[in-house]
Amino acid sequence: MLGKHSKLIFAVSMGFLVVAVIMAAWGFQKIVDKQIQKNVQLENNSMMFDKWLKLPMPLEFKVYIFNVTNVEDVNQGEKPILNEIGPYVYKQYRERTILGYGPNDTIKYMLRKRFEFDPEASGVLTEDDEVTVINFSYLAAVLTVHDMMPSFVGMVNKALEQFFPSLEDAFLRVKVRDLFFDGIYLNCDGDNAALGLVCGKIKSDTPPTMRPAEGANGFYFSMFSHMNRTETGPYDMIRGRENVYELGNIVSYKEQKVMPMWGDKYCGQINGSDSSIFPPIKEGNVPKKLYTFEPDICRSVYVDLVGKKEIFNISAYYYEISESAFAAKSANPNNKCFCRKNWSANHDGCLLMGLLNLMPCQGAPAIASLPHFFLGSEELLEYFGSGIMPDKEKHNTYVYIDPTSGVVLSGLKRLQFNIELRQIDTVPQLKRVPTGLFPMLWLEEGATIPASIQQELRDSHKLIGYVEVARWFLLTAAIIAVVTSAVAVARANALLSWPRNSNSVSFILGPSVTQVNKGN
């Protein structure tokens, strides 16, 4: 009975094996990938989409201020002694408005951020704290004039004394609230030609930190209120429906595919996502660099792959910022197009290691760096008496990515804003100050996914683990079936051929022996 059907069973189990091999090698992966893509792509029924449209939890936005403790001494040429105060913690809510869908699988949207002070997380610090910081708007005006027409700077400074009431030196005594959001009033009224020049320049450059006063001829200066007031965009982002490995890539910003202010196709490239969303990572093709596009500094930056690292019991890929991102031209020739002339009379337009000139981006002579000049030139640190101490743990930028979904498990972005304090003979307030790069504050923007989503991810990984087990189970079952039926076929053959092969010796020793004997 068995003998009759064994060949059929063998054929069926052979077919089963072929199917199992195809499924194990390709089919299961395809199904899982399809499912993941369905969940992460930007389609209005995907799991990711709603979270992307409106972030389910606020980001933490922390600001650290450099309080200058020895202003009198600095005015006499001594090294600054700084005292870092912070963090002032804000909750940052993010919401996107969809404008439409474009060709090539893109979505067009505006991004809106809203800030709210978090008194609990800020502890003893309040927005009413008085701090002494470098007078950013004043120095921005003086440096701009000094670079354009050095011989006029003394005269213009006289006019600035009207623009900036109670102008004694290059430092600003201010309430944290005003410095960050509410603004410090700058008066443009007056029939002074130099004042008109400065105000006209601000009007034409429209630096984001200067907000025109309503119903008055003047401006409010503040560091972050533009982020709270205005939407950014439009962004065009790839939805990942056609190719999930391009999910989140920004292809254009404000309808431009290249940021024009660097005057260079390479440095103006818009690479990567807006850091809200990343594509899944293929095990065999892990990107060495992860790009994000940062409109605040008008460029893409990247973090480098360090390796696999566990976080929340999830095996993630860990990326962190490396020296080369803000490297000087000598260390990373690719960065040479970020060098812009005219930022300072004393330099060729290329900055030291670890610095980025924001003049082309913000229309003000601001210089960005990592906090405390982390990964920057040692030379920068010599300027300070104390208070600047780079520390990887505190000043790094990094991200943990869940490879299967591309979800950011935890990430922090940190950036410091600086301006040059320049000794200028013809300006009484700057006559004796030491020239150097002066930090004002640094900020940290970060998020850690909530425990509920961590659990969701762990569950989905478990499910994928089961699928993996099922795949091997299926394959093993198919192999066992084939082997068993093969044995059955062999036995059936043996039974059928029994009468033919009546030579018991040859049966016991096997046909090969007789073969060998015959051959001889």
Ligand X SMILES: *[C@@H]1O[C@H](CO)[C@@H](O)[C@H](O)[C@H]1NC(C)=O
Question: Binding residues for ligand X, per CB under 6 A?
Answer: 44, 67-69, 85, 101, 103-104, 114-117, 129-132, 135, 137-138, 148, 164-169, 171-173, 181, 184, 186, 221, 228, 266-267, 269, 271, 300, 312-313, 340-342
Residue 35 or 252 with smaller CB distance to ligand X:
252
Which of 476, 491, 478, 501 is CA-nearest to residue 5? 491
Nearest 5°: CA angle at 81, between 75 and 82?
115
Residue with tokens 């030379």: 379
Min CB(127)–ligand X separation in Å: 8
Instruction: Kindly tell me which of 221 and 318 has the beta carbon lying closer to ligand X.
Output: 221
Judged by DSSP in three states, 269 sits in strand
The distance of closest approach from Cβ of residue 513 to ligand X in the complex, given in angstroms and rounded to an integer, is 59
By C-beta, is 333 or 511 nearer to ligand X? 333
Nearer to ligand X, 222 or 485 (CB): 222
Which of 261/486 has CB closer to ligand X? 261
Nearer to ligand X, 49 or 507 (CB): 49
Q: Pick the closer one to ligand X by CB: 223 or 492.
A: 223
> In this complex, which beta carbon is closest to ligand X, that of residue 29 or of residue 342?
342
Closest C-alpha among 454, 371, 443 to residue 408: 454
Q: Nearer Cβ to ligand X, position 136 or 374?
A: 136
Taking the least distance from each CB to ligand X, the nearer of 97 and 104 is: 104
Residue of 65, 81, 171 lying closest to 417 (CA atoms): 65
Name the 3-class secondary structure at 80. coil
Please name the residue that has the structure tokens 């020793």.
509
CB of residue 475 to ligand X, shortest distance in Å: 28
| 20/14 Cα distance (integer angstroms) | 10
Taking the complex as a whole, the smallest distance from the CB of residue 179 to ligand X amounts, in Å, to: 9
To the nearest whole angstrom, how small is the minimum distance from the Cβ of residue 420 to ligand X?
16
How many angstroms separate the CA atoms of 380 and 344, rounded?
15
How far is it, in rounded angstroms, from Cα 209 to Cα 212? Answer: 10
Residue 100 CA to residue 430 CA, distance in Å, equals 52
The three state secondary structure string of 144-171 is HHHHHCHHHHHHHHHHHHHHCCCCCCCE
On whether the CB atoms of residues 398 and 411 are closer than 8 A, the answer is yes
DSSP string, 203-246: HHH--TTEEEPTTSSEEEE-SSHHHHH--EEEEEEE-SSS-GGG
Helices and strands of the chain, counted as H and E runs = 15, 18
Token readout for 160 is: 């600035």
| Minimum gap (Å) between residue 307 Cβ and ligand X | 20
- Minimum distance of ligand X from residue 394's CB (angstroms): 19
Smallest separation, CB 455 to ligand X (Å): 8
Cα separation, 183 vs 202, in Å, equals 15
Q: Report d(CA 248, CA 253) in Å as an integer.
A: 13
Closest distance to ligand X from the beta carbon of 496 (Å): 57
Q: Where are the beta strands (DSSP E) in 69-217?
A: 82-102, 106-117, 130-134, 171-175, 184-187, 210-212
| Residue whose CB is less far from ligand X, 332 or 514 | 332
Q: Closest distance between ligand X and the C-beta of residue 1, in Å?
A: 53
Tell the smallest beta-carbon distance from residue 167 to ligand X (Å): 4
